[in-house]
Homo-oligomer: A and B are copies of this chain.
Amino acid sequence: MTAQKTRRHATVQRILNAAAQVFAETGYEGARVDRIANRAGVNKAMIYYHIGDKKALYTRVLQKSFGDVASRMADALAHAATPQDKVRAYVRSLGQTLEQHPHLPPIMMRELASGGRYLPEVVMTDLVSIIGSISEAVEKGRQHGEFKSIDPFVMHLMVIGGLSYFKTSDPLRRRYATLISAKAGRLVQEDGIDLLQEIEKIVLGALTGG
């Protein structure tokens, strides 16, 4: 029984991982169930057997992925003391989570692009709770006189949007590397760029600056 349960769980995980990849690469409409099955190394019918139809599969992927973002963020913020630390932890947590779930930015961006057509409420709750937490930190910093009055929602969108755009523009930056270095010179960094540090610098600069 335990052996069977383990086997089942492994199959489901393989399916969900493959699905996350394929959905990220091609979007919901472009994703082919066949392709997901192939990449997961399972028979296509097994997806329907273990999970359900394409939409159910997509929802499972969303829940799993976004749930992880929220729980990591909650953890990170809980371990930070001062507002400044919380802001740093916030940027760092987001950055690390997106690093470890490279399918997240594409999926999030497509969801937004389609008006959140398939986004289940559970996921939305997670996302809103993140905004709530960082807003709270910014507000507290303002009350303590450490921070200037900055709109935390706009700030959050710039951070998450900037991170997403950076991550997803990677293939383009590689493909058009010569074009870019010709037109934009040394200003566009190589992989070596410490993205999170730069974002942190901009955010804290705006919050604390002159």
**Residues in A lying within 8 Å of B, measured CB to CB:** 24-30, 105-107, 109-110, 112-116, 119, 121, 124-125, 128-129, 131-132, 135, 138-139, 148, 150-155, 157-166, 168-169, 171-172, 175-176, 179-180, 183-185, 187-189, 193, 195, 198-199, 201-203, 205-210
Are the C-beta atoms of A183 and B114 separated by less than 8 Å? Answer: no
Select one of B154, B168, B207 contacting A112, CB under 8 A: B168
Select one of B110, B148, B171 contacting A116, CB under 8 A: B171
Q: Which residues of B contact A206 (CB under 8 A)?
A: 201-203, 205-206, 209
How far, in whole Å, are A175 and B92 apart by their CA atoms in the complex?
30
**Copies in the assembly, this chain:** 4
Are the C-beta atoms of A202 and B158 separated by less than 8 Å? Answer: yes
Are the C-beta atoms of A129 and B183 separated by less than 8 Å? Answer: yes
Are the C-beta atoms of A114 and B25 separated by less than 8 Å? Answer: yes
How far, in whole Å, are A159 and B132 apart by their CA atoms in the complex?
22
Q: Which residues of B contact A154 (CB under 8 A)?
A: 162, 166, 193, 195, 198-199, 202
List 10 contacting pairs A-B, 8 Å CB cutoff, sorted by A: A26-B114, A27-B30, A109-B113, A112-B165, A116-B171, A116-B175, A158-B165, A161-B161, A162-B162, A203-B206
Select one of B139, B171, B198 contacting A187, CB under 8 A: B139
How far, in whole Å, are A121 and B172 apart by their CA atoms in the complex?
10
